[in-house]
A = this chain, B = another copy of it.
Amino acid sequence: MPKPTYVAVAAVSIDGYIAPIGHPGSSWTSAEDKQFLHEILDSADVIIVGHTTYEIARGPLSKRNCIVLTSKVDSTEQKGKFCLYLNPERADLGETVKHLGYKRVIILGGAQTYTYCLEQGLLDEIYLTIEPIIFGSGLPLFESGKKFVKHFGLSRVKTLNSDTILLHYKKIPE
């Protein structure tokens, strides 16, 4: 059985922030990035999100398979037809994804969720949209306490609009 592929999708400012401090969400991204995001979410078997991101995007996510990383449940808990709450301290995300037979996993953030997946080795590809804006400070994509270096290959560069580009990276096996 092929291993699931974990694909992080994120939009960042020129200075690498996924949001200004205190303003989570993607209201600042371009229409073209939002369009791309919808398309890639359509390609997902399941979407992994943190609880804050899930609350912000509950509308668009409500009809999609989601695993919501949260400390609010003991281990895992099914919430409605499409949504599984999972406490990553108590349940194994990778094993759960395998067990449920998901092949294409989209990681939608936020920072804690991206970082958790990176640290767990559950990050095979990244789609990074760079919007032409500087925040000066904000939430970084990854904020790990651990030191590590991971190498990727640049698979594709796509122009989303005259000022916004999309980079697709694939992890180089270690």
Query: What is the CA–CA distance of A133 and B142 in the complex, to the nearest angstrom?
Result: 12
Interface residues of A in 109-134 (CB under 8 A from B): 115, 118-119, 126, 128, 130, 132-134
Q: 13 more A-B contacts (CB under 8 A) besides A118-B134, A133-B149, A135-B149?
A: A12-B16, A14-B128, A14-B167, A15-B141, A15-B142, A16-B141, A130-B167, A134-B148, A134-B149, A134-B150, A136-B148, A137-B147, A154-B165
State how many angstroms separate the Cβ of A146 from the closest Cβ of chain B. Answer: 6
Tally of chain A residues near chain B (CB < 8 A): 42
Residue of B nearest to A164 (CB): B154
Residue in B132, B147, B164 whose beta carbon sits within 8 Å of that of A136 in the complex:
B147
- Contact (Cβ within 8 A) B154 A132: yes
- Contact (Cβ within 8 A) A140 B142: no
Query: What is the CA–CA distance of A8 and B47 in the complex, to the nearest angstrom?
Result: 37
**A60: Cβ under 8 A from any B Cβ:** no
- Contact (Cβ within 8 A) B147 A20: yes
